[in-house]
């Protein structure tokens, strides 16, 4: 399958709004999580694009703040989570549903990924994953609403996608996430090498995302809670034995919440 063409629009301090280009007509795009309309309108005008639809992963303002303004005069479909109280009218989706833009040749399957918010969803299609604030490169979203158990299950769903899946997350957090990943697994050579690579990219002003699922399984401590190295680090941090990978996840998620590098 041909790789999707996706471009990044920066918003706020570290958000990415993804523009997915139609494989039939590269001028037509679907925006993912447009938290701010302004940079999207600028990009559309600058490149002569045509905004044809919107996908929303969860209700936080930095992901939905631009939806109303972008959709107002365009009459475009807006898909979003059924269970996340998104403040703008959306076509509600839950796991098993499909967000289809037939005229554009784009279809995405929906996964429920509760944890960051309870209604958070992710979109999977064309070899790509749009996962909002659930999975980041080398990290995962904070548990604002869900339990460690829910987030562990959500991340496991994402981690079961094929190795080559392109991972489009909602924020540029990779370097600070890797600092934490290396605190958990100081001897993870892949994380060491990836940090070097990401620093070089950021120095050039480039995004570190998309990542791939292969890479995430190798460097992301939150996908590695069943590994001895991660379990031992979590047990040392907690000062007690941990019984299973959900307990390991809970300890490292809390550790990360207070981690300053
Ligand atoms: Zn969020
Ligand atoms: Fe966010």
81: CA distance to ligand 1 center in Å? 13
Tens of pLDDT along 4-39? 999 999 999 999 999 999 999 999 999 999 999 999
Contact 91, 78 (CB under 8 A): yes
Residues 173-197 pLDDT 10s: 999 999 999 999 999 999 999 999 9
CA distance 18 to 213: 18
Residue 33 Cα to ligand 2 midpoint, Å, equals: 9
Q: How far is the CA of 8 from the centre of ligand 2 (A)?
A: 15
Backbone angles phi, psi at 254, to 5 degrees: -70, -40
Q: How far is the CA of 39 from the centre of ligand 1 (A)?
A: 19
* Positions marked active-site: 58, 60, 62-63, 116, 133, 171
pTM over 0.95: yes
How many residues are listed for the chain in this entry?
261
Q: What ligand has the least distance to the C-alpha of 14?
A: 2
Which token pair is 128?
């790509």
119, 58 in Cβ contact below 8 A? yes
Tens of pLDDT, residues 61-95: 999 999 999 999 999 999 999 999 998 879 999 99
Percent share of the chain, pLDDT over 70: 99
């Amino acid at each position: 399958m041909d790789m999707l063409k996706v471009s990044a629009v920066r918003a706020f301090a570290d958000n990415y709004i993804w523009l997915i280009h139609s494989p039939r007509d590269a001028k037509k795009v679907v925006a993912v999580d447009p938290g701010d309309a302004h940079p999207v309108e600028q990009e559309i005008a600058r490149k002569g694009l045509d905004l044809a639809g919107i996908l929303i992963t969860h209700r936080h303002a930095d992901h939905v703040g631009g939806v109303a303004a972008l959709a107002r005069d365009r009459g475009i479909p807006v898909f979003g989570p059924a269970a996340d109280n998104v403040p703008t009218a959306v076509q509600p989706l839950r796991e098993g549903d499909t967000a289809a833009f037939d005229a554009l040749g784009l279809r995405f399957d929906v996964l429920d990924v509760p944890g960051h918010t309870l209604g958070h969803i992710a979109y999977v299609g064309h070899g790509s994953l749009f996962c909002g604030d659930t999975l980041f490169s080398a990290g995962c979203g904070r548990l604002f609403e869900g339990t460690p158990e829910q987030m562990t299950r959500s991340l496991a769903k994402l981690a079961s996608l094929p190795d080559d899946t392109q991972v489009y997350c909602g924020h540029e957090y990779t370097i600070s996430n890797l600092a934490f990943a290396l605190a958990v697994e100081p001897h993870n050579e892949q994380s060491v090498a990836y940090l070097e690579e990401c620093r070089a990219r950021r120095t050039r002003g480039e995004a570190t995302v998309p990542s791939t699922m292969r890479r995430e399984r190798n460097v992301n401590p939150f996908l590695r809670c069943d590994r001895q190295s991660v379990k031992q680090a979590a047990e040392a941090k907690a000062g007690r034995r941990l019984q299973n990978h959900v307990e390991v996840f809970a300890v490292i998620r809390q550790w990360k919440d207070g981690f300053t590098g």
